[in-house]
Amino acid sequence: MALSRLRNPVISRGVSIARARFLSSTAPSRFLSRSSNGRASPTVDRKVSRSSSFPISTGACDNLLKHKLQIGVRFFSAGDVPHTVLGMPALSPTMNQGNIAKWRKKEGDKIEVGDVLCEIETDKATLEFESLEEGYLAKILVPEGSKDVPVGQPIAITVEEAEYIQKVPASVTGGSDAKAEKVSDQNIKSNDKVHETSSSKINTSELPPHVIVDMPALSPTMNQGNIAKWRKKEGEKIEVGDVICEIETDKATLEFESLEEGHLAKILAPEGSKDVSVGQPIAITVEDPNDIEAVKTSVGSSPIQEEKPVHQEAKTEIAPGKSSIQRISPAAKILITEHGLDISALKASGAHGTLLKGDVLAAIRSGKASPRPSSSKETPSHEVSQKPATKVPESRAAAQQPDSFEDLPNSQIRKVIAKRLLESKQNTPHLYLSTDVTLDPLLSFRKELKEQHDVKVSVNDIVIKAVAVALRNVPEANAFWDAEKGEVIRCDSIDISVAVATEKGLMTPIIRNADQKTISSISMEVKELAEKARAGKLKPDEFQGGTFSISNLGMFPVDHFCAIINPPQAGILAVGRGNKVVEPVTGADGVEQPAVVNKMRLTLSADHRVFDGKVGGAFLSALRLNFSDMRRLML
């Protein structure tokens, strides 16, 4: 199951043992195409005339070729039966490792041409790995749920005849010399991370035929998400295209659609679950409704409760004990330690048995929290100085005043904003340039549009158009820095990101090709995108990308400010409010006289690797001309 319904083949059907079909992705499909660039071994079968993205080698092969290029290696030694070792394929240009999301075939199953062997989660998408040859799946070398399997590492062994399955030597566990290198380390890492991705916590031998639904990666930057709402309940029928649940990502709240029919047997991540890692199981589906009760009985409680968070590695003196508490938040640990509370007397209200700070504070206020029994090591200290020991908790409690503040949970969007802004200030050399523009021509133009043409536009709509035209006139400013190449890349289109404040955080919907649109069309598009952003209904292509940003605080008493660049963009314009000032104005007779004019401060924050003083000055000069003569926006 996946959000996207695309199933575009991304690998040419050639000599390779298998091919891949596109399951789900947040990246454009063009990044998944792969040209034939692998070098074939001298022993490659030349009888197949179709091109191959991944060669198959017969006989003895070079170790490097096994690791980097091959999918299948056939062995015909005298002691072993003929068999083919399948390696982890490179299914995208940037892929160097992948995850085995699910094995569609079991050991001993018959394989026909076109059968899906397994589902592989790459750095771009989840792909179906299809067979191009007939045979039998003799041995699975990398179990379902394995993480970070390097490209080229053997994942399975196939044979041509069923009678060869039992004859596959037990020594073939890694398929090649790959196991002598980093395979063992990878397997250890995979075993340590199994709880994040697969059904290893569930005894699959006790379950009927089922499908485990994992938390999908619904945006390129998503590594965890929140279950905002389950649209389907346990036991309900699922049709193709039905929305199973709503997932809050680092960008927006998206609907998770089903690509297959079935029944929702068990919800593993309940509604409201926070920070569920990508690849972690969230539900189980079955095809036969009669299997629903069997799944519920076998699974029992949610396996996510057994997840081992990273913070538990740092051992503390607080242990869950025999209570229903599975995890303790850091803030709750501090309160328990300071007040010396007995954790067995506390009740957890958080998801998956998590003891929250509010639970501890509620217990303290109600008086139900009992002191923790002192250990034998603590007894001597209390006997020596009993009075100070009794006064310390009281003084701490008075100084702490836990009722004077409240912890507010952060949304995924705000977490990502905080991370990105910090990275931007740390890694991007900011250059700040400011200028004042006369606002009167813009206000007169806006009034004229309303009175003569009944077209209502905002000041920000005109600012967007003015910035877009200035970027067209100074194309050096419409660029970004490519860190990998170490060079400036100019953008072909002018796409303006407009900052919109929402309850969950700041969103930046994009006006595509803003220089080619009229001010009225820009105005309508801004209103539509702003409503979607506030409702959390923006599509990925409506907020991902952009070549330049605008942040306008003119509706507040803010004269000027410096905005932080939104990577990978190289510039953002901060727009302050308009102010009336007195300055000399040259009249028609050529004489300067004092006059009241409206001024607005514009501050450019630019990436100094892209903008130098000359480019920044040229951009602001072009922008000032646009504000002084509105007719330039019509050209």
Q: Give the whole-angstrom CA distance, residue 221 versus residue 209.
A: 33
* CA separation for the pair 546, 509 (Å, rounded): 9
Run of H or E including 246: strand 243-248
Nearest to 7 by CA among 25, 21, 26: 21
**What DSSP string runs through 414-442?**
HHHHHHHHHHHHHHS-EEEEEEEEE-HHH
Which residue type, as a one-letter code, is found at position 153? Q
Q: Would you call 244 exposed, middle or buried from its count of C-beta atoms within 10 A (0-12, 13-18, 19+)? A: buried
- 3-state class (DSSP) for residue 516: helix
**Cα distances (angstroms) measured from residue 394 to each of 172, 399, 445, 482:** 67, 9, 68, 58
Which burial class, exposed, middle or buried, applies to 113 when counting CB atoms under 10 A from its CB (0-12, 13-18, 19+)? exposed
CA 159, CA 634: separation in Å to the nearest integer? 70
Residue 250 structure tokens: 């680092």
607/455 Cα distance (integer angstroms): 36
Amino acid (1-letter code) at residue 135? G
> In this structure, how many other beta carbons lie within 10 angstroms of the beta carbon of residue 293?
12
* Residue bearing tokens 């485990």: 212
Determine whether 440 is an active site residue.
no
Q: Which of 123, 430, 436, 608 is catalytic?
A: 608
Measured in whole angstroms, how far is the alpha carbon of residue 68 from the centre of its chain? 28
CA distance 267 to 20: 29
* Terminal-residue alpha carbon distance, the chain: 49
Phi and psi angles of residue 590, each rounded to the nearest 5 degrees, phi first:
85, 5
Query: In the block, which residue shows the tokens 């199981």?
Result: 281
Active site residue 559: no
Q: Hey, what amino acid is at 54?
A: F
Contact 150, 97 (CB under 8 A): yes
Nearest C-alpha neighbor of 568 from the set 443, 479, 472, 453: 479
Q: What are phi and psi of 575, to 5 degrees?
A: -110, 120
Active-site pick, 62, 482, 612, 629: 612
Q: Which residues are catalytic?
A: 608, 612
